[in-house]
Amino acid sequence: MLNILLIAIILLLAGFLIIRKLKKRQDEKEEEKVQVDDKTYTLEKMTAFVKKRLDEITKINLYDIGLSEEELKRRKNKKYELKKALKGCTYGDVNDKKYVKELIYDILAKEYGVTEINISTAIPFDVPSLLTAQDKFEIILYMYKQEFGYEALAEIIKKYDLDRLKYVNGETKPSYVITEEEINEIYEKEDFVLAFQDKLNVVVQRIYQHYKGYSSIDEVRDMNIDGISGGVSGLPESFLSQVAQTDGDYLDQIVDHKVPRACDSIWIMFHGKSIRLAFLSFGTEAELKRVCQNIYKYNNPGQLSDTNGYKINEMKDGSRVVVVRPSMSETWAFFVRKFDVKRATLEQIVRFPGKEEAIDLLKYLVKGARIISLTGEQGCRKNNNAYGYD
C-alpha cells in the first residue's frame, strides 16, 4: 500500500513538472511572437529583431535543451560557423558576408513574417517618389550586380558617363562628382521591375550594412574599383558645435548653402579619378566613427586611441586601409586602396596619344633592370603602374 502511494505521489510530481515545463515553453513562444503594429516592419524594428535573434543563436546553451547527439553536433557546428562569420564579415570577407545575409533573409522571411504587402513599409518600393537617392542607388547596384557581379559599379559609371568633369551648383570649377539628380535619372531610365525576393534582398543589405557592414559604402567597397574613402572632406562636427555656440547666423548660412559635413564625405577612386558620391552619406558622425573603428581590425593590429591616432593595416581581400581619428585629425576618416593586380595592364593604364612608344620604352627599361622613378600627383595610378610591371 505504501509503495502504491509513493508511486502515485511520484507520478503526480512528474505530471506537475511536465505541465509546468510545457506552460513555460508556451509562454516563451508567446513572447517570441512578433507583436504587429504600425512600426513592426520598419527598418529599425527589423534590425532590432535580427540583432536579438542572432544574439540568441550564438549565446544559447545547447546542453540545456535536451538534444540528441547528432542534433547537438549539428547545432554546435552551426553556432560555431555563425560566430566565425559574424566576426569575419567585419573584416571585409565577402563569403562570411554572404552567409550572414542569407541567415538574415531566412529570419525575416520565416520568423518575422515579411511579405510582399508589408515589405514596402521598410523601403517604399512601390512609390518611386518616396524613395531616397540612397534607396534608388542600392536598387540599381543590386540589379546590376545580378548580371555583372563586382563589375556592377564600373558598368553603371561607364554606361552613364558618370566619371566626367561637371559643374555643380554653387561651384566655379568643374569636379568629379555623382549627384542625386543623376541617380534619380538613372533609376527612371532603368525602370526596374522588382520581384519580392529582390525587394527583400535590398532590405537585407540595408539591415546588414548598419549591423555588421560598413554603412552606406558596404556594397561599394566590394566593387572592383581602385579605392574608397570617407570623412576626408567637409566640416567636422566639432567645428559646427563651436559655430553654434558663437555665431548662430553663420551656422544658418552653412545649413542654407548645404555645406557638406565630414559624415557626408564619401569618395571613390575610379580609373585614377577621385569621384565624390554626393548622394551618399553616413548620416551621423557616430556612424562614421563605427565604420572607422571596424574597417581596420583584420588580424588585430591594435587599438585606435587618442594617443595612437592612426592605424595602417590591410583587409581580408588585400586592400590597404588607413584610419585616423581626433585629435590627430579633425574628424574620423579612412582611406581604402584596392590593388587589382590581375587587371592592371599597360594598355589599360597608359592611354594618351603615342602610348605605344611609351609602353615599349617602359618594357625595355624593366627588362634591362634599369632604376625607374615614377612620379605624379595623387591618384594618377603610380602604384598600378609599378604593380603592373613587377
pLDDT at 356: 84
Q: How far apart are CA 372 and CA 362, in angstroms?
A: 9
CATH topology (fold) of 124-338: Beta-Lactamase (3.30.450)
| Cis peptide, bond prior to residue 327, ω within 30 of zero | yes
Residue 94 cell numbers, joined: 565577402
Written as one string, the DSSP assignment of 46-89 is: HHHHHHHHHHHHHH--GGGS---HHHHHHHHHHHHHHHHHHHHG
347-376 pLDDT tens trace: 766 767 778 888 888 888 888 988 888 787
Q: pLDDT grade, residue 145 (50/70/90)? A: very high
Residue pair 145/152 in contact (Cβ under 8 Å)? The answer is yes
- The answer to which of 2-16, 215-229, 271-285, 331-345 has the lowest mean pLDDT is 2-16
Q: How far apart are CA 357 and CA 337, in angstroms?
A: 29
pLDDT at 32: 47
Residue pair 246/269 in contact (Cβ under 8 Å)? The answer is no
264-315 pLDDT tens trace: 999 999 888 899 999 999 989 999 999 999 999 999 898 898 889 999 999 9
Residue pair 129/136 in contact (Cβ under 8 Å)? The answer is no
pLDDT at 210: 93
378 vs 169, residue with greater confidence: 169
32-60 pLDDT tens trace: 445 565 678 999 999 999 999 999 888 88
Whether the per-residue pLDDT at 28 is higher than 80: the answer is no
Tell if the pTM clears 0.75, that is, is over it. yes
pLDDT at 246: 63
Domain ranges of the chain: 124-338, 346-389
146 vs 28, residue with greater confidence: 146
Whether the per-residue pLDDT at 220 is higher than 90: the answer is yes
Q: How far apart are CA 336 and CA 379, in angstroms?
A: 13
Query: 302: left (phi > 0), else alpha (psi -120 to 50), else beta?
Result: left
pLDDT at 40: 83
pLDDT at 36: 61
Q: How many helices (H) and strands (E) does the chain have?
A: 15, 8
Considering the chain, what is the average pLDDT of its residues?
84
